[in-house]
Amino acid sequence: MAGLRPIRYAAAAALAALLVACFAAGAWAHAVLVRSTPAAGGSVPAGELAFELHYNSRIDAGRSRLTLTGPGHAGTVLPVRAGAVPDELRAAATLAPGAYTLRWQVLATDGHITRGDVPFTVTGP
Ligand SMILES: [Cu+2]
């Protein structure tokens, strides 16, 4: 009878270790946009613009999509580049003045897709 107790403790410890490992890996996290360049509602000068999107978890850049909608309401799919770190996406475009929206759709490593918009303004010279 006394022999059962250590086994139960070992099972509980193993379960606890597994839970900690899952949470540490961020396996539960959908990707949420933490900050971006340009910032939502921000403005940037016309010309070449480097987009940077930072998320709260790792992103599969190859299965993520960035679409830029400009003043003419035409959407352009931007080539997505992986960032310097796994929770970042990058893209670049040359923009004329006007109101734009960057629509992002990303695949997080937990297999869930999230979407959002970053509206911003490009100002003239
Ligand atoms: Cu998720």
pLDDT band, very low/low/confident/very high, at 31 (cuts 50, 70, 90): very high
Report residue 40 as tokens.
């939502």
What's the pTM? 0.75
CATH architecture of 33-123: Sandwich (2.60)
Q: How far is the CA of 29 from the centre of ligand 1 (A)?
A: 5
Ranges 25-34, 54-63, 78-87: which has the least confidence: 25-34
Domain boundaries, the chain: 1-28, 33-123
Element (H, E) at 23: helix 4-24
Q: How far is the CA of 45 from the centre of ligand 1 (A)?
A: 35
Element (H, E) at 117: strand 113-123
Q: How far is the CA of 110 from the centre of ligand 1 (A)?
A: 5
User: In this predicted structure, what is the pLDDT of residue 8?
Assistant: 66
Q: How many CA atoms lie within 13 A of 115 on its CB side?
A: 6
Average pLDDT in the 87-105 region?
A: 96
Give the residue among 84, 92, 100 at the shortest CA–CA distance from 51.
Answer: 92
User: In this predicted structure, what is the pLDDT of residue 125?
Assistant: 76
Residue percentage of the chain with pLDDT more than 70: 77
